[in-house]
Amino acid sequence: MNTNTVENGNIVENLSTVQQRIEEAAKKANRSPDEITLVAVSKRHSEESIRIAYAAGQRDFGENYAQELRDKATNLKDLTEIRWHFIGNLQRNKIKYVAPFVNLLETVDSFKFVGDLAAYAKKIEKKVSCLLQVNVGEEIQKSGCSTVEAAEIMGAIDKEEWLSLDGLMTIPPWDLDAQQTRTHFSALKKLQLENGGRDRLPILSMGMSHDFDVAIEEGATHVRVGTAIFGTRAPR
């Protein structure tokens, strides 16, 4: 795994700029910035970059690759308040690399995955918090379950003693303009309201570097921001 970093500028400064954008978007939407958790997406960035962000107060970090999460979580164990989010496609045979370390697994999207994750969580006796990843736009190539399957998969997660369903996550297609992206975010919000609302599904994870302001206006509680904090990623 290549975690060499192409650092653009200053991580600490970038973090504070992103926090300001979060505050402005929240204000615009009449929300409290305290409702919004910034997940710093550190995939393909170095452990040193994570340490710098952590020293500046950042606690939630997002990773996309199973072994990379395992290695970073192991090497950064001394950062005792760090919280790891897994936000990538997770093959079922790699659950073992992620489940022991993760604080929120954001990409649960099928009955099969729920079954395997629950079995592994039971084996290691760890209650795993997860989000259901929904492909609200029904793009063929994207991961995430369809809105039609969503309710049933939520029910399957609820039945599992070793899993906790904490909310919903979505990734809109990359090539949309802001207004089209907004449609995806509001669709995820609608799905939350139709399935028990905030009481059952407190977390809405949506929005990235280029569109998290819009996501906050549409109700995001978690925004996943990589490039705007850490700069361009090294090629994989």
Ligand X SMILES: *Cc1c(COP(=O)(O)O)cnc(C)c1O
Tally the C-alpha atoms within 13 A of residue 80's C-alpha that lie toward its C-beta. 0
Q: Which is nearer to ligand X, 41 or 163 (CB)?
A: 41
For residues 41 and 154, which CB has a smaller minimum distance to ligand X in the complex? 41
Task: Output the smallest distance, CB 185 to ligand X, in A.
Answer: 13
Task: Quote the CA–CA distance of 232 and 209 in Å, as a whole number.
Answer: 11
Cβ-based nearer residue to ligand X, 192 or 205 = 205
Measured from the CB of residue 106, what is the shortest distance to ligand X in angstroms? Answer: 8
Cα atoms found within 13 Å of the Cα of residue 127, Cβ hemisphere only: 7
Tell me the angle at which helices 147-158 and 111-124 cross, rounded to the nearest 10 degrees. 20
Least Å distance, CB 171 to ligand X, is 5
Of 41 and 168, which CB lies nearer to ligand X in the complex structure?
41
Query: What secondary structure letter does DSSP report for 5?
Result: -
Measured from the CB atom, is 160 or 184 closer to ligand X? 184
Name the residue type at position 144: G
Residue with the closest Cβ to ligand X? 226
Which among 198, 189, 110 is positioned nearest to 146, based on CA atoms? 110
Provide the Cα torsion 73, 38, 182, 154; round to 10°: 50
Whole-number minimum distance, CB 177 to ligand X, in Å? 15
Residues that bind ligand X in the complex, under the rule CB under 6 A: 41, 43, 64, 87, 171, 208-209, 224-228
- Closer Cβ to ligand X, 63 or 160, answer by number: 63
The b-or-e profile of 37-61 (16+ CB within 10 A means b, else e) is bbbbbbbbbbeebbebbbeeebebb
**Shortest separation between residue 64's beta carbon and ligand X, angstroms:** 5
Partner residues linked to 108 by β-bridges: 132
Hey, what are 229's tokens? 């904090």
Quote the least distance from Cβ 190 to ligand X, whole Å: 21
